[in-house]
Structure 1
Amino acid sequence: MPPKPRRKRSFGGLRQLPSKRWQANYTAPDGLIYNAPHTFDTSLDAEAWLAAERRKISMDLWVPPSEALVKPVTFGEYSYRWLEDRPLKPRTRQHYQAILDSLLLPTFEDVALKHLTPASVRRWYTDQGASRPTYRAHAYGLLRTILGTAVTDEIISSNPCTIRGAGASKRAVKIKPATLPELEAIVAGMPERLRLMVLLASWCGMRFGELAELRRQDIDLKHGVVRVRRGVTRVKGQVVIGTPKTTAGIRDVAVPPHLLPLVEAHLNEHTAPGREALLFPADDGTSNLATSTLYRAYYPARAAAGREDLRWHDLRHTGAVLAAQTGATLAELMGRLGHSSPAAALRYQHVARGRDAEIAEALSRIARGE
């Protein structure tokens, strides 16, 4: 039977061993983790020992115990503290915890940070295989970031993550943007109250979480913009409303003029009164739309358009490519899509440039009088 997990505490940690006795430890002012010299009958006894050690520290009376009691900081202990101290969005925190639990801790949990080497990291990376390249890249990137912080904290002298390019992954499936006739077919196949959602996702490049939290007050028909200020996510079944993932996500998106009459009609016919009314609520009219509800309508609509491969997020990709085809600069694409780095926006520009051969062929048809 494995030991029970450590209790989350403001100072130190407690863990019940298989013997039912309790173990206690804490991180001292010198950055090292010290275990109690013995185990305890009850958690209260262990907490009393921790309280005594904390009192010594607060009164500046603490001195390091003998070297025999020093326990090197393990990756498991350090990553737990790293995640707790990091100011992360709930969805990102959940993602990092899942990566730790499934890919990193099974190998590195009990390994002392100072014993991690480039060779051991390379062996772990190789053992992951190539079946899930994106997830492996995310895991390597997280490992490299955590150990980079350990270097900053002077716990280790150098970062053992030295595999070039391991934190990046190639897209497993090449996205094929929707054509305008396909978009038209998808919109026609959606319930009326959700048609504008498809149009804003594709023509304005908005994320699902941004659309699901869009409210009447966020629409400025006079200036023709949608003000993106919030997003909604679901973390372990709980609805979480907050700011977009990055500061760049807070933006005003100009609505193409041909959509403005449709936006106004949607506000009149499918949006409740009041500034706080959701544009695309769930069936009850007041709570945020869930992805499962959307997919029940979207999957048949995309099938009718002959695009069963088109994920909802690919509509945003379609909108980005359409914007790039207008000649939008990299900075303009970043602003419109809410990207904080050029990498993603640059990808859409590359896709747009890929049409050069089609343009050349069209020019030849003009020359031939076709």
Structure 2
Amino acid sequence: MRKRTAFGAVDQLPSGKWRARCTGPDGRRRTRIFPTKTDARAWLATQQADTVRKTWRAPELGRRSVGQYAADYLARDDLRESTRSLYVGLWKHHLVDRWADVSVGDVTSADVRAWHTAAAKGTGPTALAQSYRLLRSLLNVAVNDEVLASNPCHLRNAGTPRAARPSRSLTVAEVQALAAAVPRRYSTLVEVLAFGGLRFGEATALRRCDVLDGGRLRVERSVRYVDGRWLVGEPKTAAGRRTVSLPARVADSLVRHLAEFVPDAEDAIVFSTASGSFLSGANFGQTFRRAVTKCGLPSVRPHELRHTGATLAAATGATTKELMRRMGHSSPDAALLYQHAVDERDGDIARALDAMLAGH
């Protein structure tokens, strides 16, 4: 017996299951089978409500799997090779087993939360945050295709890796000690990273022709070692293409470095290995850690040289926009972090003055 409702119809099949049928806004007839009459009615009610709210989407569109969306996403022409390689690895190692065969229309916030909780037990914080961001990007495509009404990936701060410890800013004296502790070939690199604020890949992609008069560096390339080969491309963000002015002392150090270690050719790499090839982050990291130990400093990561450069620039009174330009940031968020660090330093100054007052 068929019972027609205000929207669609529900009838029981010989098997005992219930069939719901309705005509969508696109004029096509659709049918779904449910174990109970209540479920069938609920589906019809949802279809009707979505039609009234003008949020209706064809149910069959949501049957496309997350894996199919991933295949299309990873084949995009606008992905840099290094980015594509990263995403392929993240999908293969952290996402494919859980999500490849799941229909995008079936992904719920609870599913994402359960996956994230389980993955956190065996995945490093950076890889987990990157994997979450990739999953969110895949489902954003489904949202843009109007397959999903909203993205179920909305875990707070899940896309931001939690570092084992906060980044620390070095003092000028500590930077100078580290520059003296590494092999002479890399002393100026330490100074450029710390006082110029360049990313490691930007600094190691510099050529002799990128060193301009007046102690300025033209940053327009970045280099990474991906899948067994060097990839030279544009900086991390569009804002990364910039000109950075070095302090006079660092500029003088760079002149001496060019004379001693860099061939005269315009395309000669400024900070290279002894053989003239690109310097890898892994090799430099080992050298840097030995220098840290030699100086008796607590654990310091090479990236904290850039962090130091940003914090010292903020301490000079640079505005958010000036910091963004110098550091190659495309948004003010990171620049504000460094200014916040300077604000905290101001509290240290106030406490020191208070101690002086207490002494009197």
Give the TM-score of the pair, scaled to structure 1: 0.75
Partner residue of 2:267? 276
Q: Where do residues 141-290 of structure 1 align in structure 2 (5 Å cutoff)?
A: 141-221=133-213, 223-285=214-276, 287-290=277-280
1:47-81 deviation line (CA, Å, top 9, x unaligned): xxxxxxxxxxxxxxxxxxxxxxx994211121111
Find the aligned partners of 2:269 and 2:324 in 1 and give their Cα distance.
26
Partner residue of 1:126? 117
Query: Per-residue deviation at 1:299?
Result: 2.2
Aligned length: 300
Find the aligned partners of 1:369 and 1:266 in 2 and give their Cα distance.
48
Letter in 1 for 2:102: V
> Are 2:108 and 1:117 equivalent residues in the alignment?
yes
SS at match of 1:110: coil
Which runs of 5 or more residues in structure 1 are unaligned?
A: 1-69
Query: Per-residue deviation at 1:296?
Result: 4.2
The alpha-carbon distance between structure 1 residues 365 and 79, as it changes in their structure 2 partners (threshold 3 A), is same
2:343 is matched with which residue: 353, 363, 370? Answer: 353
Letter in 1 for 2:97: P
Which runs of 5 or more residues in structure 2 are unaligned?
A: 1-60
The alpha-carbon distance between structure 1 residues 360 and 192, as it changes in their structure 2 partners (threshold 3 A), is same
Find the aligned partners of 1:135 and 1:335 in 2 and give their Cα distance.
28
1:184-224 deviation line (CA, Å, top 9, x unaligned): 21111122221110000000111111111111111112x32
Q: Where do residues 7-86 of structure 1 align in structure 2 (5 Å cutoff)?
A: 72-85=63-76
The alpha-carbon distance between structure 1 residues 181 and 158, as it changes in their structure 2 partners (threshold 3 A), is closer
2:300 is matched with which residue: 301, 306, 310? Answer: 310
Find the aligned partners of 1:166 and 1:304 in 2 and give their Cα distance.
37
Letter in 1 for 2:299: D
Partner residue of 1:298? 288
> Are 2:85 and 1:94 equivalent residues in the alignment?
yes
The alpha-carbon distance between structure 1 residues 165 and 365, as it changes in their structure 2 partners (threshold 3 A), is closer
Q: Is the 1:205–1:336 Cα contact (8 Å) retained in structure 2?
A: yes
Identity, % of aligned pairs? 38
The alpha-carbon distance between structure 1 residues 329 and 189, as it changes in their structure 2 partners (threshold 3 A), is same
Find the aligned partners of 1:122 and 1:260 in 2 and give their Cα distance.
50
Give the TM-score of the pair, scaled to structure 2: 0.77
SS at match of 1:328: coil
User: Which consecutive segments of 4 or more residues in structure 1 shift more than 6 A?
Assistant: 365-370
Partner residue of 2:26? none
Q: Is the 1:177–1:318 Cα contact (8 Å) retained in structure 2?
A: yes
Query: Per-residue deviation at 1:368?
Result: 8.4
Find the aligned partners of 2:161 and 2:62 in 1 and give their Cα distance.
37
> Are 2:312 and 1:322 equivalent residues in the alignment?
yes
Q: Is the 1:89–1:245 Cα contact (8 Å) retained in structure 2?
A: no
